Chain A
Amino acid sequence: MLLLVLSASIADAGTLRGVVRTQGAKAAPTSMNAYPGRASSMAGMHMPAHGLASDAVVWLEHVPASADSAFATVQRPRPKLAQKDQCFAPRVVVIAAGGSVDFPNMDPIYHNVFSVSPTKRFDLGKYPRGQSRAVQFTKPGLVNVYCDIHSDMAAFILVVPSHVFTQPDAEGDFEITDLPGGHYTMHVWHPDLTEVVREVEVPADGARDVEIRL
């Protein structure tokens, strides 16, 4: 289970925990390579399955500014969207607006990373294994990420206007701790499924359990 733990102490801290349930994993639709046999591609690659609960993003809106600032000060490693086994890994990255994402190439072949999403347009060019590029995302929204060389490669960066977010584990379980008690708008977003938005009351002391079906 993923835990989001604040180093800063928050008086009257509550917990939001729950489970995200999906219809189950489905094989990703693959586009076939009509021109195989190039050293610029890897053999036998499989796209990650769609519909996984762990690809969901849970984030909260209407977080008190003081609490959001406290979450912002939590030391987290800078998110990575790696190019590995001719796929983007992980498939979904969530960051707060203003954050940056690293794009390391871990494959023995060239990759390119680009996006034409209105939230952020960029093209990082082509670079080999061992090299990385970074992009800062200042505007909230969804960023679809692709590779110009391998058209099957696709990933999602969800840029949220809040620092209170998490992703479920493989079973769909998630937990956000150290929340001030109060009323929140909970967004549960998934790249393959319809987003669910729900109002939740988090107690000042104790946990609120939720179940989300996508």
Chain B
Amino acid sequence: MRRALKPAFALLALILSLLGVPEARAADAASTLRVHGLLDLGWHSDDEAFAANQFIAGDSPFSPYRLRLYFDGQASAQVQVFVQALLTEAGGTRVDGAYALITPWEDKDLHLMAGKIAWPIGTWAPRTYSDKNPLIGVPLMYQYHTSLRWDDIPRTTDELVAAAGAGAAGPDYGGGIGSPGMPIVDDFGWDFGVVAQGSVRPLEFAFGATQSAPSWASPGEDANRGLTALGRLGYAPVPELRVGVSGARGAYLPRFFGPYLPVGKSEQDYPQELLMADLEVQRGALELRAEAAHNDWKTPYVGTLGVQSGYVEARWTFNAGWWLASRAETERFSKVTGTSGTYPWDENVDRFENGAGYRVSRNVLAKAVWQHTVQHEADKTEPYDMYGAQLSVKF
């Protein structure tokens, strides 16, 4: 399967070149390259709460600095190329996305996206940037590390329950402390894939395939010999309302687990199955957004691990460029039964983030937030409070 994937991408590259080269020679399709960026300067008051906001590389929207550089190229009238790199204090430099966007018909909203692409599910990807996020933090479903790892698997429910709450640090299931656990959809890691997306008002659509699953993108190589099918169908009957459903199904375990799986099973037998819904209402000064996710990870030894997550976010903009924003969210885990009882397989978590922002100029935003996170341990709750600020400069 993995070898079969490479000719598929080679074929895609050929299509890209066939579409791109003749047009690049056309007089009316001058090639262009545009470099621009987004610099975030951040501050946070509490390191423990900060840890609950970190991505897998240790960076976070609350990090002291994050610099995104975008390289946008117009290869031809129909082909655009996007590359974005992210430089952070903790995470070093990484290429977040690199993809070609083919638009066969100029007057139709239909596009083929191929490369290292943003997840075409849910509605967060276009809002992940500090100049689009009215707050600072990332919703739990896109960032919060559960205690299930992609590179180490629990053998028993007792082992799993014992690791509850250790997702950010990296739970140890016998393979040693490694990477943090998987979020439902990893906003940190985009995957290689192909997606067709567009809109025929009032419908929006995005359907495609990626190498690995939304919870573990396996960036760099196809680690599990299979594709994840994923997509979103949206409906915008009036300009102020937009709703959508998204889904994804594909293997998340890498194939090096093969020898450790039950006899006759492969990593393809243990997929991530994700169903999401989204809502957006905009009216006057008010923007209201909500997303919900129902996710199952099939596991080799502890059955299906479910998690449900959702958030509601509101923003109210005032006339002089000020705004207030608030996000309330929760993540709830299914229960498993071990030798000592029945418990959620990970610690349930709630988070509230409230803040204010000010548009200093067209390209400069200032934000300040208060974030309150509560982790529900088996016998107590653990609250974390954090104040944060961010200056977002687009250039």
Contacts and interface: CB of A to CB of B under 8 A. Distances in A.
A166 interface: no
**A: contact size bracket:** 20 to 34
A76 interface: no
B234 A39 contact: yes
Nearest to B317: A123
Interface stretch (A27-35, A95-103, A189-197): A27-35
Interface stretch (A3-11, A14-22, A106-114): A106-114
Contact of B319 (A41, A43, A44, A122): A122
A146 B283 contact: no
Instruction: Name the prevailing secondary structure of the B interface residues.
Output: strand
A54 interface: no
B283 A126 contact: yes
Contacts of B26: none
A185 interface: no
B206 interface: yes
A110 B320 contact: no
B108 A43 contact: yes
Given A31-B72, A108-B239, A128-B239, A116 B109 contact: no
B199 A125 contact: no
Given A36-B111, A38-B204, A121-B320, A110 B199 contact: no
B239 A44 contact: no
Given A32-B80, A123-B321, A38 B199 contact: yes
Given A40-B236, A126-B283, A121 B321 contact: yes
A123 B101 contact: no
A127 interface: yes
Contacts of B101: 32, 34, 36
B174 interface: no
Interface string A39-64: 11111100000000000000000000
Contacts of B204: 37-39
A213 interface: no
B240 interface: yes
A34 B107 contact: no
A53 B17 CA distance: 39
Pairs A-B, 3 closest by C-beta atoms: A37-B197, A43-B109, A39-B236
A144 interface: yes
B320 A39 contact: no
A129 B239 contact: yes
